[in-house]
Structure 1
């Protein structure tokens, strides 16, 4: 009997949370922060390993080994130490960022190669989409007033929603975005076409934490809207996300209780440093329909993008 009462109470709280999010969307005060889970779910299964956090950094080392074999041989011991960190199940987020720092330092010697590597990973990523349901739902939500932001480097949301990327490379655009004078997808960690502004290592974190344009934009979103985090689980698989929210939690200690995170059934909150409200769906296949449920029937997406 007690278990049944708890289940009814859980269902009531979930229904109230969805109703609240619907009202927030209608008032055009909803922001959706998309994490790596959305990209990983959307693309073909065979391509997912290279786009996890550790997979992406591994891929960068593989690229340097393939494209600059002499340079790789000169740095082989440092390469292998970093790769071992990526494969260590006991590695901390700091360890993984250290590995990424090694990769970034190597690319700094060959900036053209960094741009080429990022292009190889992300330019044609939309061609690998196999499950566009979540992207289509985000498109519908944006069309009905939701602001979109992502911790990812890729441009899948831009492709599906017909939007432009916004990052720290264009301070004027960010200012217009903050004033709601222009639209786009905000990338606090950078967008692949602007390699100099990609947040990849500890030095980059320091820069983004002291970047007035990024800080102001994040502060405006966190204090002026309700954020729904989607596809942002994974713990150590996405240390960038955890570090960003840790910093935000320290900067804005009293704002977390007004924001939400969408979790799969049984999934734990990956960012306990923020007291986010939990809403749940069954699994990744259910994320698209769950998001669509925030819309009125007449507003829901039709078909898929080519």
Structure 2
């Protein structure tokens, strides 16, 4: 298997991993809600129906939207709104109860920890990690390995600054929040006005996009994610000077090469890990092993 030399010759501390649903799907295939945005939203709707926190008419309406709509983030956002106070506040809300129902006993569902092990090895050597996922599989696994893992979200300004400056070796930044924290659940940038309008926080976050190589793992939708865009994509100029990497499934050659060309404009090199999802864990393990072999300069 060939790897891009420009990627495997990076020092671990020069990388920032962006973890998407693909990682959770590989680690805990038994939980459908972890496999994709669509299945997560479907599972939340089902939980809402069982817990009776969503009107049956709304349940039917959202099911229809999930099957038809391409922009699932908008659907998810509407779903959160529907289960939150009409004032627009994020708490108290029933959405969190639904997520807790969906993600119950996560640690019992870790079937393929090898991907998490690879990520931890990189973290040990200074790689930073942020995720769009609501689950904390990585932190659970790291704690089992005796690592002082810490979850943080964008509402915790001091911690975010600490993390962004590299002072939180085992910190995992959840840019949408974490299912265990009712206040941190956010799907659109308006929920993070405090962050996006705070020049100090925005500067350290954008500095990361300019100075680190982001490596997107299991991220199908991340670049269309409004929060990710607000934090990094739309605010950092001269993207072509950057060098980021994205691992993707190559299902269709034309689509793959078009994506490759499009992403170069964002300073992102698209790399295929194979033509079926089963190849993803092995690729991540090999890739991380290659990077960990690098001697510090």
- Report the TM-score range of the alignment, normalised by the length of the smaller protein: 0.7 to 0.9
What stretches of structure 2 of length at least 5 have no aligned partner?
86-90
- 1:123 and 1:142, CA in 2 relative to 1: closer, same or farther beyond 3 A? farther
Check conservation: 2:25, 2:34, Cα contact below 8 A.
Answer: no
CA apart distance, 1:292: 3.4
Asked if structure 1 preserves the Cα contact closer than 8 Å seen for 2:161 and 2:201, the reply is no
Aligned in 2, Cα 1:59/1:205: closer, same or farther, shift over 3 Å? farther
Matched, 1:243 2:226: yes
**TM-score under structure 1 length normalisation:** 0.75
What is the alpha-carbon root mean square deviation over aligned residues? 3.2
The 8 Å contact of residues 8 and 290 in structure 2, kept in 1 or not, is answered as no
Residue 103 (structure 2) aligns with: 122
Distance (whole Å) between structure 2 residues aligned to residue 217 and residue 284 of structure 1: 34
81, 106, 129: which one aligns with 2:61: 81
Residues paired across the two proteins, number: 272
Tell me the equivalent position of 1:42: 27
2 CA distance for matches of 1:35 and 1:298?
Answer: 20
Task: State the distance in 2 between where 1:169 and 1:199 align.
Answer: 10
CA distance in 2, matches of 1:51, 1:290: 18
Matched, 1:135 2:116: yes
CA shift in 2, pair 1:202/1:220, >3 Å: closer
Q: Deviations over 1:239-269 (max 9, x none)?
A: 7854345443221242354101112344634
Greater fraction helix = 1
2:40 corresponding residue in structure 1: 56
Distance 1:213 1:56 in 2: 33
TM-score w.r.t. length of structure 2: 0.77
> Per-residue deviation at 1:289?
3.5
| Residue of 269, 289, 293 corresponding to 2:282 | 289
* Deviation (angstroms), 1:217: 4.8
Counterpart Cα distance in 2 of 1:39 and 1:284: 12
